Structure formats: C-alpha cells, structure tokens
Structure 1
Amino acid sequence: MNEPKRVLHIVGGMNRGGAETMIMNLYRALDRTVLQFDFITHREETCDYDEEIHQLGGRIFYVPSIGASSPWSFVKKLADTIKQTGPYQAVHAHTDFQTGFSAFSAKMAGVQVRICHSHNTAWKQSPSWFDLWMLKGFRQLILFYSTKLVACGEEAGAFLFGKNKMKSGRVDILPNGIDVNMFYQPKEESKAQMKKKLNLHEKKLVIGHIGRFHEQKNHSFLIDLARTLKKQGVSFQLVLVGDGPLRKEIEACAIHEGVRDEIVFTGIVSKVPQYMKAFDVFVMPSLFEGLPLVLVEAQATGLPCVISDHITKEADLGCGLIKRRSLQASEHEWMKAILEAFQAESPAQETITSLLVKRGFDVKQNITGVMNIYGL
C-alpha cells in the first residue's frame, strides 16, 4: 500500500483551544490512509490532544518559539526540522502574525504548499502604533512566502491579510467545522439529567462559559456579572470551563466579590458536549474573537447565547440563539439578556442541523475543501 501524504501543522501547543479543536475535528474526519497530520509545537510539556494525535498516527515535534530564541534561529531550526521529518505535502501554520516566519521556513525546506491561517480578528485590545506597524511587516512576510491564505471568517482574514486581499478572492474561507452529531441532544436526555451527571445544581439557572483564562476572554466581566446576579436574588451557578494564566487571579477576584460559592471552576474537560447540554445559557463577553468554535458548538446544542458586540457577526449562524450586548452596557442589561435568552423557545434540532450544514460548519463537508487547499 502507498504511504499516506503528510501535512505539517504549526501551532503554539495542542491544548483545547478553538483552532486546535478545529484541527482535531478535521483530523478525526479525514481518511487517514490518504492523509496524515504531523505537528510542530512551541510547548515542551504534554498538551491535551497529544495522546489522541499519537493514537491517530500523528507525530509531534518541539521547536522553541520566536520569543524563546530569535527570528533567524527560529526560521533555521524550523526549516531543519521540516527537512528532517518530511517530506510534506503542505505546511499549515496557525500562529497568526508569526505564520509568515513558518512559511519562510517551509520555503527554505522546499515545501511547495505553504498555508497561513488566520483564526482571530485582533491580538490585543488596544494595539499601539508600534503594534500596528509590526503587523504590517508581518503581513508582508506572510503574503510573500505563503502560497495559500486561509481564514475562519471574513473579519479574521481582513485582520491578518488585509482588506484588499479579501476583496481579491485570494483568501479561502474555511468554517470551523464540528461533528454535528456530538452536540445533538436526544429528547430522552433531559437538561436535569445532564446537570446531575456533572454535579451541577438541577434547579438553578446554569450559566456556562468555555474558554482559556486569558485577557481576551474577559473573565473579570463574568465575575462582575455574577455579583449583580447574586445581588438581584437570581438563583444561579456560573460554570467556567477551562484553564490558563489568569485562572488564579479570577478565582481570587470571585472570593473578593463574594461570589466564589456560586462559581464552578472545572479546569480542562474532555467532554465539552456534555457541559453544553447541561448549560441553560452560554455567555461570552470576549474582547475580540475570530469565529469562535465554541459558539458554533453552543448553537449546535440549541443553547441560547449572550455574547459581546466585539465578537464577529459571522458567529451568528441564523438559528435565533444569539443575543449581542455591548461591553459598555451595564451588568443589569446583560442580566436581563440572559434571563430573556433562558425563557425564549429554542428552534427544533433539525432546523439547527440544517443551518449548520448549509453554512459549511459540518466538518465532514469541510474535508473536500481542505484537500483542495492541500493540493490533493
């Protein structure tokens, strides 16, 4: 038998982030006798998806990040690793504005298909003039050395590659596809049963959030919201799924605001669909996002969502499940939106699935587009 072609993905680390989960969704769905994935990561420690990657036949290699070395050292080490571990059909970089350096390395290593993929609409809340100047430089590197530009949505593409490139049609839009069946809620499986399985309070309003504890996700806003809900006498639990550098700070903030008993910090979980099915409302007050996979998953579950107006409008899949609120609005306004969302009637599961498929968020449909991007 012929050996499968291999594609090398360059990521920060294969933890349970949106981009990483999107890659794994594709990896599980594709025919691995035809195509296999390898990974270069910038984390030496074991990441959440590493064991599954090995089980699926993938390999993982460590290369220190640009920040841990220097641009030239990074490019040379990356090129050497690509040569030593290849040959590769394509190199697919997911590290936003650093992807141009990866494309440069892939060119040095002789790889013909070099993909830069945008997953975000910003990288800082308030970028300085120097940040914007750097982005222009990084963009030129991306445009010069890549052969394919890919984005999760229009706004993410415009951020990293520029509006002109979006207008030119050079950027391929690859929706963050999911296994729709994983989030389908059987009629015999009640919300109360799911709450009980996860040790959540069956009679309280369960407000969920899934995201890395990072400035971008704006967890401090959720603590303020919890304080307001408690003050107004709402019976609730706020469930925060995830981990990250700001977790201890957010836990301390919850204690200081007197809402620690109302909040469940789960850490990293492997069973995201179960938590989605247990939530009553999903809340996402992010400062910026690309097209967050977690919002696709929430809508696939039929879960009403209250999100910030800083999240791209492309995240609304037309299921009638999204309420947008300004981050300048008061916690009372957010509370009102959450209670209204909870009381609203959800669309039929068949309607949701049909919309997801129509808009390209079924991962099985995405395989053809991915193979085309890889030149297969």
Structure 2
Amino acid sequence: MVKVLIILGGLGGEGISNSVLTYLETMDKKDIDIYLGVAGPAKKSALKRAQAIGINLSILPGRNSKPILYFKALKEFVRTQHFDIVHVHGNSATLALDMLAAKRGGCNIRIAHSRNTSCTHPIIDKVLRPLFYANYTDGFACGEKAGKWLFKNRPFTVIPNGKNINRFLFNADIRNTMRRELGIDDKIVLGHVGVFNIQKNHAFLIEIFREICTRSNRYVLVLIGEDGGLQSDIKKKVNDYNLNDKVKFIGFKRDIEKYLCAMDIMVFPSIYEGLPNVVLEWQLSGLPSLLSDCITRECKVMDYAEYLPLDKGEKFWTDKILSTSIRKRNGEQNYIKSIFLKAGYDIENNAKLLKQIYFKLVETRLY
C-alpha cells in the first residue's frame, strides 16, 4: 500500500482544484491510500465532491494566512501518518515551506507540482528559490512552460491536465436548450470562464466588449466563474459602460460543458497561465478560442485556437473577434476526440500514469 498526501492551498470548483479532483475521481484506488490536505479556503460544494470520492480529507491551517502554524501542523501530520509521498500543488518557490515541513516530518518523496508560469510575489519567490531547490525531491508540472518556470534546467515530469473527453464534445440539442435558458437565441455569444482576479484580465475583456458593442448589436458576453475578489469591480465597469443588458454573470457552473455548447467564440486575455484546463475544454467543444499570447502554446490542440498579443489593445482584439467565423460544430466530434486522445489528454490514461509514477517512485527510491 502506497500512502500519498496531496496538498492544495484551497479547494474550489475551478482550476487546480477541479483538475486534482478529476484525477482522484478517475484513479483506481487499489493499493493506494490517498489523503487530500486543504490549506486554505474551501467551498462546501468542493468539499462535498472530495468526500464523495472516498479519499481521506484533512483540513490544515491556512497556508497563506497562518504559515508558521501550517508548517508545524503539516510536519506533525506527516510524522504521525508516515506518508510515502507528499505531493504539493503551487506556482512558486513558496513551496519550500511545504517541502521543508514534509522533510522534517520524515517523508522522503516530496513532489512539487508547478501549476503556472508566474506568481504574484516575485521577490519572495526569488529569495526562497535556494531553500526550495534544496528540499523538494521530484518536480511535476502541468506543462513544459510551467515546469521551466519553477524548476529551470532541473528535471521534471509533465502530468497533463487530463479530461473526460466525451463529456465536453458538442451536443446540438443541449445548445438549443441552453440558449433558450440564457435568453440568447439569436445572438452571437462570446464566452469566458475563469475566476475574477487580476490574472484573468476581465477588465481588458470588458474594454474589448465595449468596443464590439460600438460596431455591432449582435453580440452578448457570458462570464462564468467564481469571485476571486474583483467581480464587483467588473460589474461596476459593465454598469458604467451601460452594458448590463449585454453581459451575463452566471457564476461557477459544475456542468460547464452544457454552457460551452451555447457559446460561439471564447475569449481569454489572461496576463499569465500555466496550462489552463478551460482552453482544452473549449477546443473539445469545437469553439474558436482567441487566447492571449502570454499563454503557453501547449494549449493549442486544434487549429481554431489562436494567440493574440495583449499589447495590440482592444481595437485589434475586436477586429479579430468580428472577423472570426462561427463554426459548424456538429459532425466533427469523433475527429476532435481522436486528436485529443492522440495528444495525451484522456483522463483515464492520465490517472493511470500518475498512479504508476507514484508506485515507481516508492519502488525505486533508496531510503
């Protein structure tokens, strides 16, 4: 039996949380004992989802709000539970805190999993790099760019953001139902999925949409995602521009695939990303996807995903959106599925791979 502790700095419905929970839902639990440690804010719906998986759920002190208490609690938890592996998800050298605590607790396999290509505290990251490099044993990353960001020239293993491919394939009947539900039957629907925070760059997206509305009345914008602290600012901006009847805020949606069927074009002007799950989901659904050039090229699986420079401004992005054709998505599902399978994004295969890696690390590591 291999005993693994996976740590997240919070548990929500999107992003890293969703990716980890999807892996754990899919993974065969035979001969592996998994604990999920949550060291930050947790949504009730996400906790309920985690509990339904049948793993051990542990709430730790806040990693960011109470780092000293978190360090002591993690060290003691690792010491008493005798984990074979501690696997921590993050995006900077602040992972040194987790790696050192796991080391002091007696764990010999300490995985740092890079989930992004930048961070919000570069000075702290720089200061902690030596401590981080001295205390992690194995590097994982969601993509090549995220791995290079955190590990530089050191070795790391890419663990793809696997998907339940069939779930996200386009369905014409669902499209018609969802468009009626959203009241957008005859409109061209622009979509965005993401937490309302600085990284996702919603403010620029609203500037783009304002420019679009000066040229055409055929478009609506649907924003899907949790509040990361900036939603009220974005709503005020929409109100100030008199766009309330054209912009829909619909919150986080667990059944996101249904809403994607209703969309026509996705717009993603993020300032930085690792390898965002949502962009893969959009392409699976057959949606034209216009992405910031700050996002890794690994996201592009289909030809209808395109990168645009942020510094060109809202008029350039508007020109591109207005010239983007609405795709006929029905009838191409099997082709898209075959491309994604070939690209290595099937969650069944990816979950098997991760479990195999865990076992190989334990089998080959010299104590």
**Which TM-score applies when normalising by structure 1?**
0.89
Is the 1:207–1:282 contact (alpha carbons within 8 Å) kept by the matching residues of 2? Answer: yes
The percentage of aligned residue pairs carrying the same residue is 28
Change (3 A) 1:234 1:328: farther
The 5 Å alignment of 1:268-307 reads 268-307=252-291
1:326 to 295, 309, 322: 309
Cα separation, 2, equivalents of 1:307 and 1:15: 24
Corresponding residue to 2:125 among 135, 142, 146: 135
> What SS does the aligned partner of 1:328 have?
helix
Helix, strand or coil at the partner of 1:203: coil
Q: Within 5 Å, which residues of 2 pair with 1:46-125? A: 46-70=43-67, 72-84=68-80, 86-97=81-92, 98-124=94-120
Structure 2 CA distance for aligned equivalents of residues 267 and 340 of structure 1: 28
2:163 maps to 178
Question: 1:231 — aligned with what?
Answer: 214
Q: CA RMSD in A?
A: 2.0
* Structure 2 residue 4 is matched with structure 1 residue 10: no
CA distance in 1, matches of 2:126, 2:355: 30
Q: Please, which of 221, 224, 231 is the counterpart of residue 241 of structure 1?
A: 224
CA contact (8 A) 1:13 1:41 kept: yes
Could you say what secondary structure the match of 1:303 adopts?
coil
Q: Corresponding residue for 1:364?
A: 348
Give me the whole-angstrom Cα distance separating, in 2, the residues matched to 1:366 and 1:45. Answer: 26
Q: Distance in 2 between matches of 1:17 and 1:329?
A: 29
Matches of 2:139 and 2:106, distance apart in 1: 18
Q: Give how far 1:42 is off.
A: 2.4
- Superimposed CA distance per residue, residues 321-352 of structure 1 (whole angstroms, 9 cap, x where no aligned partner): 21211112232321232233333565922222
Question: Residue 151 of structure 2 aligns with which residue?
Answer: 161
Structure 2: which amino acid aligns with 1:321? Y
Mapped partners of 2:241, 2:34: distance in 1: 46
CA shift, 1:108, in A, is 1.7
Q: Are the counterparts in 2 of residues 14 and 48 from structure 1 also a CA contact under 8 Å? A: no
Alignment of 1:201-220 (within 5 A): 201-220=184-203
Amino acid paired to 1:152: C
For structure 1, list consecutive stretches of 5 or more residues without a partner in the other structure. Answer: none
Q: Report the Cα offset of residue 155 of structure 1.
A: 1.0
Amino acid at match of 1:201: I
My pick for the range that moved more, 102-111 or 44-53, is 44-53
Q: For residues 289 and 24 of structure 1, what CA distance do their matches in structure 2 show?
A: 20
Specify whether residues 172 and 27 from structure 1 end up closer, same or farther in structure 2 by C-alpha distance, changes over 3 A only: same
What is the 5 A alignment of 1:246-265?
246-265=230-249
Query: How far apart, in 1, do the equivalents of 2:117 and 2:47 lie?
Result: 27
Secondary structure, aligned partner of 1:8: strand
Q: Deviations over 1:219-257 (max 9, x none)?
A: 001111121111112312111111221011110111011
Superposed displacement of residue 202, structure 1: 1.1
Return the offset for 1:367. 2.1
SS in 1 for 2:311: coil
Q: Distance in 2 between matches of 1:203 and 1:93?
A: 46
CA distance in 2, matches of 1:345, 1:51: 38
Q: 2: distance between equivalents of 1:73 and 1:359?
A: 42
Question: Can you list the C-alpha shifts for 1:86-124, whole angstroms capped at 9, x where unaligned?
Answer: 343321101222222112111222223211000100113
| C-alpha distance in 2 between matches for 1:59 and 1:68 | 23
Q: Following the alignment from structure 2 to structure 1, what is the Cα–Cα distance between the partners of residues 131 and 325?
A: 47
| CA offset digits 1:180-220 (Å, max 9, x no partner) | 0111224x526333322x42411101111110000000000
2:136 corresponds to which of 146, 168, 187: 146
CA contact 1:284–1:307 (8 Å) conserved in 2:
yes
Which range moved further: 229-238 or 206-215? 229-238
Counterpart among 11, 21, 24 of residue 21 in structure 2: 24
Check the 8 A contact 1:113/1:374 in 2, yes or no. Answer: no
Aligned-partner Cα distance in 1 for 2:311–2:42 = 39
Q: Which amino acid aligns with 1:30?
A: M
Alignment size in residue pairs: 357
Change (3 A) 1:351 1:142: farther
